[in-house]
Chain A
Amino acid sequence: MKAEILARLQAERAAQRPVVLLTRMSDGEQHLWPQEALPGALAEAARDALGREKATNVDLDGETWFVHPHNPPLRIIVVGAVHIAQAMAPMAAPLGFEMIVVDPRRAFATEERLPGVTLRTDWPDEAMAELKPDARSAVVTLTHDPKLDDPALDAALRSQAFYIGALGSRRTHAKRVARLKELGHGDDAIARIHAPVGLDIEAVTAPEIAVSVMAEIVAARRGAALGEPRPLPAPQDGRVSIGISA
């Protein structure tokens, strides 16, 4: 591997962009996709490897290529350092997610209450502008407070987030929908919000709700047919949606 290729690969990963390293087994020749234009069959294999998160081998014109995908991390961005967030936290890492909790109320957002997660005490609009949710991000709002939830949902709806969930009853959600429409979001966008949040398992306690939310996030990630499909927005910057088959 040339140091130059390694540096470019690491730069893409640091920028949290999906990148595939392709290596020709006969002589070690290497390319990065989608940063370099490649023959159709190789580009297709690279895209497929990213989607399936699995390295593979491809034969082209008598040569074998090793196709090695590097996806950015999956993230769950939670607004509200509340009980449900506490119950979600220990499940996130084993399920393969980095969990970030945003709550400007410092009494809630403490390391003691939420060990092992990334805590942010800035306002959700500022936090979302920096976190930049992408096609490998889930966004969940749990505060019930429109001042905190709405800016996060607004930002999530403008992103490629593969899952958006909002805690609250149907009545609460109806009011929320009206507010989001005032911000310019149409019916298709609002249909992306899972509300009431989580799979319907008649959850009552915070850990039960956490299970239902995490299960719904996993279902969305794996493209399981549960409930009504949530439309994804059109890809931006010519980038493909990664890891989502819905």
Chain B
Amino acid sequence: MTADTTQSEDILATAAAWKAAGEQVAIATVVETWGSSPRPAGSRLAVTASGKLTGSVSGGCIEGAVADAAKQAMATGAPQLLDFGVSDERAWEVGLSCGGKVKVFVEPLT
């Protein structure tokens, strides 16, 4: 265990292993947050074109949209910067008492 707030070790290792096994992989990283967003900047999520997923960039509410953007990034080879506002209602669902905003950078592993 470390004090590293990003806790991304396993995710990068998993992404590398997927890539080595011939999968198409994309990595999403929280790069900026406002308010009480669920995951701090540096949090990572890795996905494959085949639908595997590890890590998280939120409490679960934006993972679907991020995975879609990741598929697009894998197809085009171009990174994307995504902007999310977490509404109060959704924020409540994912275990937060108030909304937050989060920017996520999605890049293909090439």
User: Could you list which residues of chain A lie within 8 angstroms of chain B, going by C-beta atoms?
Assistant: 1-3, 6-7, 9-10, 13, 23, 25, 27-28, 53-57, 66, 68-74, 93, 95-98
Which of B5, B19, B27, B79 has the most chain A CB atoms closer than 10 A to its own CB? B79
Task: Let me know if B110 and A3 touch, CB within 8 A.
Answer: yes
Bound CA span A167–B93, Å: 50
Q: Is B15 an interface residue (CB 8 A)?
A: yes
Task: Let me know if B41 and A74 touch, CB within 8 A.
Answer: no
- B1-41 interface code vs A (CB 8 A; 1 in, 0 out): 11111101100110110010000000101011000000011
Residues of the A chain whose Cβ atoms lie less than 8 Å from the Cβ of B40: 55
Residues of the B chain whose Cβ atoms lie less than 8 Å from the Cβ of A23: 29, 31, 105, 107
Bound CA span A3–B19, Å: 8
Known: A9-B12, A25-B105, A27-B79. 16 other contacts (CB 8 A): A1-B108, A10-B12, A13-B9, A28-B79, A53-B4, A54-B5, A55-B6, A55-B31, A57-B32, A68-B29, A70-B6, A70-B8, A71-B3, A72-B2, A73-B4, A98-B2
Decide: A10 near B4, CB < 8 A? Known: A3-B109, A25-B31, A66-B105. Answer: no
Task: Let me know if A96 and B42 touch, CB within 8 A.
Answer: no
User: Could you list which residues of chain B lie within 8 angstroms of chain A, going by C-beta atoms?
Assistant: 1-6, 8-9, 12-13, 15-16, 19, 27, 29, 31-32, 40-42, 78-79, 81, 105, 107-110
Can you sample 27 A-B contacts with CB below 8 Å? Answer: A1-B108, A1-B109, A2-B110, A3-B16, A3-B109, A6-B19, A13-B9, A23-B31, A25-B31, A25-B81, A27-B79, A28-B78, A53-B3, A53-B4, A55-B42, A56-B41, A57-B31, A66-B29, A66-B31, A66-B105, A69-B6, A70-B6, A71-B3, A72-B2, A73-B4, A74-B2, A97-B3
Task: Let me know if B31 and A74 touch, CB within 8 A.
Answer: no
Bound CA span A74–B4, Å: 9
Bound CA span A96–B5, Å: 10
**A146 to chain B: closest CB distance in Å?**
32
Task: Let me know if B29 and A70 touch, CB within 8 A.
Answer: no
* Chain B residue at smallest Cβ distance from A74: B3
Residues of the B chain whose Cβ atoms lie less than 8 Å from the Cβ of A66: 29, 31, 41, 105
Contact among A2, A13, A57, A96 with B3 in the assembled complex (CB-CB below 8 Å): A96
Residues of the A chain whose Cβ atoms lie less than 8 Å from the Cβ of B29: 23, 66, 68
Bound CA span A93–B3, Å: 9
Residues of the A chain whose Cβ atoms lie less than 8 Å from the Cβ of B31: 23, 25, 55, 57, 66
